[in-house]
Structure 1
Amino acid sequence: MRKIKRVKVLGWRWRRNELRRHSDAVEAWIVLGAWALATAGGAVAGVAGAQTVAAAQARDEAERRPATAVLLDTVPRGARDVAIGVDYNRVKAKVRWTDAQGTVRTATADVKAGTDVGSTVPVWTDGHGHLTGEPASPGKATARTVAAGMGVGLTGGLFVLAGGRLIRLRVERRATEQWGEEWEQTGARWGRRTG
């Protein structure tokens, strides 16, 4: 069996010819508009998303305060997970510190393995005096901001393209229905006998 080779002609919907229907031109404009809107809208959404994440990180880091805590538990030496071969040099242990208002607090913090009881360990607190993680480095903060912006931009652009695809399918379905109606009219005229 011979294989039929299909030839794709770029821009055929834009060219004038007798076979081009009005719906072909409408579809071409929908595709062009969807891509333009997805590109511009995705870029704007990405920048807005990145700015929102950057502002949230700046607020979060502005509230964090370094504190010195006293270790209350015995901390075991580092452990090794033999299944995956990872050494754990940080473990959870109970610590006590005094917050900015003078209240003595106790909680579990991530400390270096092998630290002795009574040793001082650095911790970070939030605006309410609760333990929180260490602030992200400038490189990590930038990476998070860029990743969030790209994610929001790509998601926004994909939603626009999906909407354009749905509109295009509706136009294509309507064009097929019109073609079927025209064919029925033409077929009825061909079926008449003359003579």
Structure 2
Amino acid sequence: MRRTRRVKKLLWRWRSNPLRRRDDIVEAWIVLAVWTLVLVGGIVAGLVTAGAADDVFARQRAERAPVRAVLLVAVPKSVSGIGTGSERTPGTVSWTAPDGSTRTGRTLVDTGSKAGSKVVVWLDHQGGLTTEPPSAGEAAVEAGVLGTVAGCALAGAVFGAGAVARWRLERRRLDLWDREWDTVGPRWGHKTG
């Protein structure tokens, strides 16, 4: 019995009622559309974004390759005496490219490394230095976070648009009530009974 009353109260805009206005029906459709888009659209946007991010990370793992390189210049333990909180700093390295030529460039290396020490650098498909691609686990976490953010962003935008539409309907209803009151109010006078 209580559940039936709750459902009736929840769906009052859909029931036939002599006091129901056209704006109430419009508002009911807006609420239904907003919640449908928030739930379905948010999930779809999250899944599409996560899938696209995962594809990008998989492509990075396929295109990038690790190569052994030699550090040319020693890197001091603390750079400029200020603790940056990072254990890596730019250093000059030399490596052999896939075509057999020797190349030189700058990449992040561990602080305190001595000249001549071996380091691993990552090369793109053209043989240039690039960053290490995320592992499969890191990529899955990052894709999940990006998907969640995309889903929440879409849901927030849809919810905001629905709130603005409902606010405009409410303003319209208040203006109609003001006009009706301006018509009926003066006839009442100061006596109520």
Tell me if the contact between 2:42 and 2:154 (Cα under 8 Å) persists in the aligned partners.
yes
Give CA deviations for 1:66-114 in whole Å, capped at 9, x if unaligned: 11111110232x339998795x543322111121122321111222333
Question: Match for residue 62 of structure 1?
Answer: 62
Task: Using structure 1 for the length normalisation, give the TM-score.
Answer: 0.78
Tell me if the contact between 1:13 and 1:28 (Cα under 8 Å) persists in the aligned partners.
no
1:46 Cα deviation (Å)? 0.6
Give the alignment of 1:91-102 within 5 angstroms. 91-102=89-100
Backbone CA RMSD of aligned residues = 2.9
Structure 2 CA distance for partners of 1:149 and 1:166, relative to 1, 3 Å: same
Structure 2 CA distance for partners of 1:84 and 1:65, relative to 1, 3 Å: closer
Deviates further, 29-38 or 142-151: 29-38
Structure 2 CA distance for partners of 1:95 and 1:25, relative to 1, 3 Å: same
Question: Match for residue 108 of structure 1?
Answer: 106
Structure 2 CA distance for partners of 1:37 and 1:49, relative to 1, 3 Å: same
In terms of fraction of residues, the more helix-rich structure is 2
Deviates further, 119-128 or 50-59: 119-128
Deviates further, 159-168 or 113-122: 113-122
Give the alignment of 1:6-17 within 5 angstroms. 11=10, 13-14=12-13
Q: What letter matches 2:175 in structure 1? A: E
Give the alignment of 1:15-164 within 5 angstroms. 21-76=21-76, 78-79=77-78, 86=85, 89-164=87-162
- The size of the alignment, in residue pairs, is 181
Q: What letter matches 2:46 in structure 1? A: G
CA distance in 2, matches of 1:178, 1:91: 68
Tell me if the contact between 1:79 and 1:89 (Cα under 8 Å) persists in the aligned partners.
no
Tell me if the contact between 2:57 and 2:133 (Cα under 8 Å) persists in the aligned partners.
no
CA distance in 2, matches of 1:113, 1:168: 58
* Aligned-residue identity in percent: 40
CA distance in 2, matches of 1:72, 1:82: 22
Where in structure 2 are there 5+ consecutive unaligned residues? 1-8
Task: Using structure 2 for the length normalisation, give the TM-score.
Answer: 0.79
Where in structure 1 are there 5+ consecutive unaligned residues? 1-9
CA distance in 2, matches of 1:183, 1:75: 81
Give CA deviations for 1:95-143 in whole Å, capped at 9, x if unaligned: 1112112232111122233333223221111122221222212221111
SS in 1 for 2:10: coil
Structure 2 CA distance for partners of 1:94 and 1:148, relative to 1, 3 Å: same
Q: What letter matches 2:104 in structure 1? A: T
